[in-house]
Amino acid sequence: MPHSSKLSTPDLTAAAHGRNEPTTAARPELLATRREVAAEPMFLLLLAACAVYSGLGEGAGAIALGPC
């Protein structure tokens, strides 16, 4: 079924689906990102392992894990 308008194929595609432009999503807040990371199970496990190393007097092992 031919189109009766004088638009080219790219113009018809843009009209049907929108322009090919990236959307501008809001950047997540730093505090919200930190909250999400702190709630991750793997991060909580890492903190627990760090606490165990610290409790056993293995300061070098606790530091090597990172977040302590």
Tell me, yes or no, whether 12 lies in a domain.
no
**How would residue 4 be classed by pLDDT, with cut points 50, 70 and 90?**
low
Tell me, yes or no, whether 49 lies in a domain.
yes
Tell me, yes or no, whether 36 lies in a domain.
yes
> In which residue are the tokens 């199970």 written?
41
Range of the domain at 64: 29-68
Instruction: Quick: pLDDT tens for 20-58.
Output: 777 766 677 888 888 998 899 999 999 999 999 999 998
> In which residue are the tokens 């009766």 written?
4
Q: Is 27 helix (H, G, I), strand (E, B) or coil?
A: coil
- Among residues 30, 11, 36, which one has the least CA distance to residue 3? 11
Backbone angles phi, psi at 17, to 5 degrees: -120, -5
The yes-or-no verdict on residue 62 having pLDDT over 90 is no
> In which residue are the tokens 């760090």 written?
50
Q: Is 67 helix (H, G, I), strand (E, B) or coil?
A: coil
